[in-house]
Amino acid sequence: VSELPALLDKLIQELDERKEKIARAKNLLSPIRRLPAEMLTEIFMNYIEPDAQRLYNALPRPLLLSQICAQWRNLVQFTPRLW
C-alpha cells in the first residue's frame, strides 16, 4: 500500500511524457494540415505516378495516402483523378 503513491507518480510522469510526444508530433503535422486541398491534390498526383505505382509497397498509393489521417482519407476518396 505504501508503494501506491510512488507508482501513481510514475504513471503520471509517463502519461505526461506521452502527452508531450503527441504534442510534438502534432506540431510537426500542423503546416501540412494548413495546405489547401488543391495543393495537396497536386502533391498527391506527383506521388502517384503510373510507373511508380507499386515500387515500394504492394498497396496502391492512393490507399497508402488515405491511411495517414482523416483529412487525407477524405481528400483521396473524393478526388477521382487520384484513382
Give residue limits of the domains in the chain. Answer: 1-34, 35-82
- What pLDDT digit, counting tens, does each position of 18-77 carry? 999 988 887 777 777 788 999 999 988 888 876 555 555 567 888 888 988 888 999 999
How much is the pLDDT for 24? 86
How much is the pLDDT for 77? 93
Alpha-carbon span 37 to 27, nearest angstrom: 19
Higher-confidence position of 78 and 50: 78
How much is the pLDDT for 54? 56
All residues at 6 or more sequence positions from 54 whose CB lies less than 8 Å from its CB, including other chains = 60
How much is the pLDDT for 58? 63
Burial 19-46 (b: 16+ CB within 10 A, else e): eeeeeeeeeeeeeeeeeeeeebbeebee
How much is the pLDDT for 30? 75
